[in-house]
């Protein structure tokens, strides 16, 4: 490809709307352009990266017995109503009505469609296991599209669905996909962790996320270096190091004290001169189970921790969980926000974290403005009925597996795998005939990879102040050849000769044949992130050209007759290392 013909409109300045490194560099390097909020064009350079990631995914899915198909993005509402997800999925589901008044959605995922497909066409256990996948556009009406292609409303995803005759088979398919995913992300040149995760609206009995490690990651994960435990903070559990710090104390008399203007835990602790871990945080939530069923619940956690709303929502089994409004809190507690505690609460479901259960002589809201109770003791002053882990794990907590100290880092979710079990096959009445002649439900799994997110995550993890540093396996082109002086006939002749020789050998190469200054060409080469750069310049007087590595900035000079072989060897060795 000649740069003079390549549609790659590069920019020198960061675009104003871009927040993340990947968003900025994908726009500046001429890889994407915005159509609307969360909707992007992929330009030729960007789409080449997408196609390479797709090919790696295809090869690894096929190696595990996956079969590629293509399902429609437009899905009838009746399928989603049959599975029970039409109302569960929420406002992120893009819904529409056709000219005949029939409701449809633009699919964010395809469990309903693929389950119906298999139900209608597979009948015998002899046809199992079955692994079907596609790479297709998905839709999600994000409330706030951001971070470029990482949180978009239209995006490309690989989704695979496994169908097995029993739980053992489902577990084998799950392990096969786990291994395939590890290979996909390793071949893409990414450093990642596999973490325990919340299944969310997909559902099922268990799930794991593949998180690319990056300081700019949108999610926090906790991990243990000693036993390799890792989990998304929405799912993580831990041992609190000082859970029993006050257990040896004698229970003191409950007292109401004046705390003017002290609403937050920080303000109350400072006013009373106590540690935050001696306080109790009480929050009220509206738990919605259906259009006609909801309740207000109180959630209690030790004051130095935060409530994990995902854990609370999962425990309650509600469709939606929102912080209760002030008027709702007043109705159920009779108190004012910031001063309400568990003492005297009646007719309200109270969920208590174990950190609160183990406290002695704690500080809690008194239910009256500008007042708190001191020396509150769980079990004596308020009931302990529902004790559930609802706290957000933090660095310094202890690992639930080995007891070592947990650490935190940030990551970008690029893949998610789920054990669905019988969730969809039962809902969709999808059965097969087993060896004993009886009808049984399929055991299912589903497995997703965000293709565009993988591209963005690779940039977040591989860049410097000059631009993108692509791993060889997913770089849009492997080599750029730059003749320093456009007007120098010898520079152009040799550069073109090298370019044509590399093309004949099957190397993905670009020649920058533009009538631009060397500085512009070098800046664009670094910005776009070509792994190797051949410069035809002053060294040509000695019969040599310069070879520069983008990642290390290392420079070597090769005779004209050796540079092509050196480049091919370098490409092959790096690709081999990534795929081994």
Residue 224 covered by a domain? no
> Do 550 and 418 have their domain in common?
no
Residue 180 covered by a domain? yes
pLDDT at residue 234 tops 90: no
Q: In whole angstroms, what is the distance from residue 58 CA to residue 60 CA?
A: 6
> Do 279 and 333 have their domain in common?
yes
DSSP string, 166-218: SHHHHHHHHHHHHHHHHHHHHHTT--EEEEE---GGG--SEEEEEEEE-TT-S
Token look-up 């700019």 returns 216
Containing structural domain, residue 520 = 477-579
> Do 69 and 123 have their domain in common?
yes
> Do 510 and 568 have their domain in common?
yes
Residue 53 covered by a domain? yes
> Do 51 and 196 have their domain in common?
yes
Q: Which of 430, 460, 490 is the last residue before a domain boundary?
A: 460
431 forms bridges with which residues in the sheet?
A: 441
Query: What's the Cα-to-Cα distance from 43 to each of 40, 46, 466, 550, rounded to whole Å?
Result: 9, 5, 21, 22
How many domains does the chain contain in total?
A: 3
491 burial via Cβ count (<10 Å: 0-12, 13-18, 19+): buried
Q: In whole angstroms, what is the distance from residue 327 CA to residue 336 CA?
A: 9
> Do 420 and 326 have their domain in common?
no
What count of residues does the chain have? 580
The CATH number of residue 454's host domain is 3.30.930.10
The pLDDT tens digits of the residues spanning 93-151 come to 999 999 999 999 999 999 999 999 999 999 999 999 999 999 999 999 988 888 899 88
Residue 355 covered by a domain? yes
CB 326 within 8 A of CB 337: yes
Assign 3-state DSSP to the chain and report helix, strand, coil percentages, each to 5: 30, 30, 40
> Do 456 and 491 have their domain in common?
no
pLDDT at residue 525 tops 70: yes
Q: Is the peptide bond before 129 cis (omega within 30 degrees of 0)?
A: yes
The CATH number of residue 511's host domain is 3.40.50.800
Residue 570 covered by a domain? yes
Query: What's the Cα-to-Cα distance from 372 to each of 94, 279, 300, 342, 351, rounded to whole Å?
Result: 47, 10, 15, 11, 20
The pLDDT tens digits of the residues spanning 440-452 come to 999 999 999 999 9
Name the nearest CA neighbour of 373 among 265, 279, 301, 282: 279
pLDDT in the model for residue 74: 97
Residue 403 covered by a domain? no
Strand 443-450 to 439-441 pairing: unpaired
The CATH number of residue 268's host domain is 3.90.960.10
> Do 455 and 482 have their domain in common?
no
Q: Which helix (H) or strand (E) holds 563?
A: helix 560-579
> Do 372 and 432 have their domain in common?
no
Question: Structure pTM?
Answer: 0.87
- Summarize the confidence of residues 554-579 as an average pLDDT: 95
Strand 255-258 to 280-288 pairing: unpaired
- Summarize the confidence of residues 332-353 as an average pLDDT: 88
Label residue 316 by pLDDT band (50, 70, 90): very high
């Amino acid at each position: 490809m000649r740069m003079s013909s390549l549609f790659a409109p590069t920019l020198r300045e960061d675009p104003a709307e871009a927040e993340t490194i990947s968003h900025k560099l994908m726009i500046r390097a001429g890889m994407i352009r915005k159509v609307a909020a969360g909707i992007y064009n992929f330009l030729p350079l960007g789409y080449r990266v997408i196609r390479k990631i797709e090919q790696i995914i295809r090869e690894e899915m096929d190696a595990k017995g996956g079969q590629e198909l293509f399902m429609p993005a437009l899905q009838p509402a009746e399928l989603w109503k049959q599975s029970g997800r039409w109302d569960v999925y929420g406002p992120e589901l893009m819904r529409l009505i056709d000219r005949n008044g029939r409701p449809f959605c633009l699919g964010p995922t395809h469990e309903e469609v693929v389950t119906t497909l298999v139900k209608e066409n597979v009948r015998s256990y002899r046809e199992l296991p079955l692994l079907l996948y596609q790479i297709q556009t998905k839709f999600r009406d994000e409330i706030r599209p951001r971070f470029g292609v990482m949180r978009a409303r239209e995006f490309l995803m690989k989704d695979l669905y496994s169908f097995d005759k029993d739980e053992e088979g489902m577990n084998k398919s799950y392990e096969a996909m786990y291994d395939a995913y590890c290979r996909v992300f390793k071949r893409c040149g990414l450093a990642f962790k596999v973490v325990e995760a919340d299944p969310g609206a997909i559902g099922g009995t268990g799930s794991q996320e593949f998180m690319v490690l990056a300081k700019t990651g949108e999610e926090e994960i906790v991990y243990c270096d000693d036993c390799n435990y890792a989990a998304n903070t929405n799912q993580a559990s831990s041992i609190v190091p000082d859970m029993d710090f006050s257990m040896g104390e004698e229970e003191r008399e409950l007292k109401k004290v004046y705390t003017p203007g002290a609403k937050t835990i920080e303000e109350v602790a400072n006013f009373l001169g106590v540690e935050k871990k001696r306080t109790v945080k009480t929050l009220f939530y509206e738990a919605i189970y259906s259009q006609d069923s909801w309740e207000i619940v109180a959630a209690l956690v030790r004051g130095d921790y935060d409530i994990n709303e995902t854990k609370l929502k999962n425990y309650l089994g509600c469709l939606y969980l929102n912080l209760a409004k002030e008027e709702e809190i007043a109705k159920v507690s009779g108190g004012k926000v910031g001063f309400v505690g568990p003492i005297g609460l009646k007719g309200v479901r109270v969920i208590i974290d174990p950190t609160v259960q183990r406290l002695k002589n704690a500080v809690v809201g008194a239910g009256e403005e500008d007042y708190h109770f001191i020396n509150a003791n769980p079990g004596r002053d308020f009931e302990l009925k529902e004790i559930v882990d609802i706290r957000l794990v933090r660095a310094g907590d202890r690992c639930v597996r080995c007891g070592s100290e947990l650490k935190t880092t940030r990551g970008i979710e690029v893949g998610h795998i789920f054990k669905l079990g019988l969730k969809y096959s039962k809902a969709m009445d999808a059965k097969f005939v087993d060896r004993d002649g009886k009808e049984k439900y399929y055991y299912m799994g589903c497995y997703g990879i965000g293709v565009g997110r993988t591209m963005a995550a690779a940039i977040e993890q591989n860049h410097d102040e000059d631009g993108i540093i692509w791993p060889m396996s997913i770089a849009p082109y492997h080599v750029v050849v730059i003749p320093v002086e456009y007007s120098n006939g010898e520079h152009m002749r040799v550069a073109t000769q090298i370019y044509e020789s590399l093309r004949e050998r099957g190397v993905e190469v670009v020649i920058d044949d533009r009538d631009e200054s060397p500085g512009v060409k070098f800046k664009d080469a670094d910005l776009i992130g070509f792994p190797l750069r051949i410069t035809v310049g002053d060294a040509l007087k000695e019969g040599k050209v310069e070879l520069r590595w983008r990642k290390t900035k290392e420079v070597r000079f090769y005779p004209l007759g050796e540079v092509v072989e050196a480049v091919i060897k370098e490409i092959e060795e790096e690709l081999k290392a990534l795929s081994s």
